[in-house]
Every structure is written in structure tokens, then in C-alpha cells.
């Protein structure tokens, strides 16, 4: 399945770890990464939405850009990341106003070097990964399309979708984008559902019941590792 939007990642002998929707929670991300004790044999997949809403999107991107220097870390684009990318590319007032509303004004006064660094990283991100029996995507797929793996807008923005096993190659889809309660996520995992959400709305700790953790799913054991919001 040759497709520039996605990439097939061959499984290695280490763990396959998936992290979703950091949304500017840099301290929480650092604590989760420390908890995971990642080795060079592991593969770590990030499902997008690294920026906006939380207090330190700039620091989150700096951390991820550092991890991107390692061959075993993989990054997807989220809809909030695309918003930032379009601002960095065009600098128009509409995108700037939206970023300001989403607590990301720290990107407004970048040096040309830093602007280029963040833009290059965001431009390099994929829309989906395939890892053996799993498909990883930020939001989901529109299976009404003849080829859902070409639906860029849907992969970034869809909030609910039905599962088509023939088009999904009977693989399990793991996605972020829309927050679910911890209980709902655990139930999807324990029931071996073909669509597993992973966004627990880390930024909503104290605001929404059952939310407030940055989650990591071990694809090999289906163990869920969480870190409560610290930021």
C-alpha cells in the first residue's frame, strides 16, 4: 500500500507504545516518558495534537523534536498541529487569532531559525501508521471513501466513524482526537474492540469527569499506562 500520507512500520522485538493528544502539557509528558523507561528497542508512536490548550506547547514540540532524532520514535499530524503549521507557513491573522484563543501565543515571536525548525518538523509528519495488526491515526477514517487512507481531512478531524473490516484489512484502529473517559477507553481495550480511543483529555483534569490523564497504550500487552496532568 504505497501512500505518501502513511507509513508501514515493521515491528521490532521491543515494546510498541502509543501516546495521544499531549496538548501543551509538557510536564505531564516528561513524567509519562520517565515512567515508561523507553529503550532503543522500543517503538514509540505519537498520535498528534501536540499543541494548543495546555500551558507549554513550545516546550512539548522541543521535546518531540529532540525525540525525533531517534529512529524509534514516530509522529502523526493532528488537526491542532495543522493549525500551527498553517500559521507558520502563512502567518495570517485568522490563524494567529485562533492560536491566541488556544493558548499558543508563544509561537508569535519566533526567530527565523526556530520558525523553520517547528515548520520543518510539522511538515514531516504522517497521517497514519500501520504496525502489524494495528492502524494508528489521529482522528479516524471515512470508510465511505473508496480509499479511506487518502482522506486527509477525515484522518485529522472525524469525530465518529463506522468500522469497515475489509477496507481496514481487519486491523485494529487506535486513535486520539476526541476525548473519552478512562472507563470508556479501558472497556474498549478489554473488549478487544476494533476501534480503540486513546485521548483521555489530559487538559481537562478537574473540568470533566473521568478525564485528565495522558495515556500510553502498549500494543503488545494492551496495558494502559497513565499520567495525571501535572501542568
- Here the CATH number for the domain that contains residue 156 is 3.60.21.10
Range of the domain at 59: 14-228
Model pTM score: 0.96
Q: What DSSP state is assigned to residue 88? A: H
pLDDT < 50: residue spans in the chain:
1
Q: What is the dihedral of CA 75, 7, 193, 81, to 10 degrees?
A: 30
pLDDT at residue number 2: 55
Q: At 123, which helix (H) or strand (E)?
A: helix 112-123
Residue 150 lies in a domain: yes
> What are 141-148's contacts with CB under 8 Å, separation 24+?
141/167, 141/168, 141/173, 143/167, 143/168
pLDDT at residue number 196: 98
pLDDT at residue number 53: 97
Listed in sequence order, the residues at least 6 apart from 108 whose beta carbon sits closer than 8 Å to its beta carbon are 96, 99, 100
**The C-alpha cell of 10 is what?**
515493521
Report the domain count for the chain: 1
CA–CA separation, 167 and 137 (whole Å): 15
pLDDT at residue number 4: 82
Residue 27 lies in a domain: yes
Residue 125 lies in a domain: yes
Residue 2 lies in a domain: no
Residue 18 lies in a domain: yes
Amino acid at each position: 500500500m504505497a501512500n505518501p500520507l502513511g507509513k508501514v512500520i515493521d515491528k521490532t522485538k521491543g515494546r510498541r507504545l502509543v501516546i495521544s493528544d499531549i496538548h501543551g502539557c509538557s510536564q505531564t509528558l516528561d513524567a509519562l516518558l520517565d515512567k515508561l523507561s523507553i529503550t532503543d528497542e522500543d517503538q514509540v508512536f505519537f498520535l498528534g495534537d501536540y499543541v494548543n490548550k495546555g500551558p507549554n506547547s513550545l516546550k512539548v514540540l522541543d521535546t518531540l523534536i529532540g525525540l525525533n532524532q531517534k529512529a524509534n520514535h514516530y509522529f502523526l499530524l493532528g488537526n491542532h498541529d495543522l493549525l500551527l503549521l498553517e500559521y507558520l507557513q502563512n502567518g495570517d491573522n485568522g490563524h494567529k487569532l485562533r492560536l491566541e484563543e488556544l493558548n499558543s501565543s508563544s509561537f508569535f515571536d519566533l526567530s527565523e531559525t526556530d520558525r523553520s525548525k517547528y515548520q520543518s518538523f510539522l511538515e514531516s509528519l504522517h497521517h497514519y501508521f500501520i504496525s502489524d495488526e494495528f492502524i494508528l491515526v489521529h482522528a479516524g477514517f471515512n470508510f465511505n471513501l473508496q480509499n479511506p487512507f487518502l482522506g486527509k481531512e477525515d484522518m485529522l478531524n472525524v469525530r465518529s466513524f463506522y468500522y469497515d473490516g475489509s477496507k481496514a484489512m481487519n486491523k485494529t484502529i487506535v486513535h486520539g482526537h476526541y476525548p473519552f473517559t478512562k472507563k470508556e477507553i479501558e472497556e474498549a481495550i478489554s473488549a478487544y474492540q476494533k476501534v480503540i480511543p486513546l485521548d483521555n483529555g489530559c487538559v481537562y483534569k478537574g473540568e470533566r469527569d473521568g478525564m485528565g490523564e495522558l495515556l500510553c497504550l502498549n500494543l503488545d500487552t494492551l496495558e494502559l499506562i497513565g499520567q495525571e496532568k501535572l501542568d
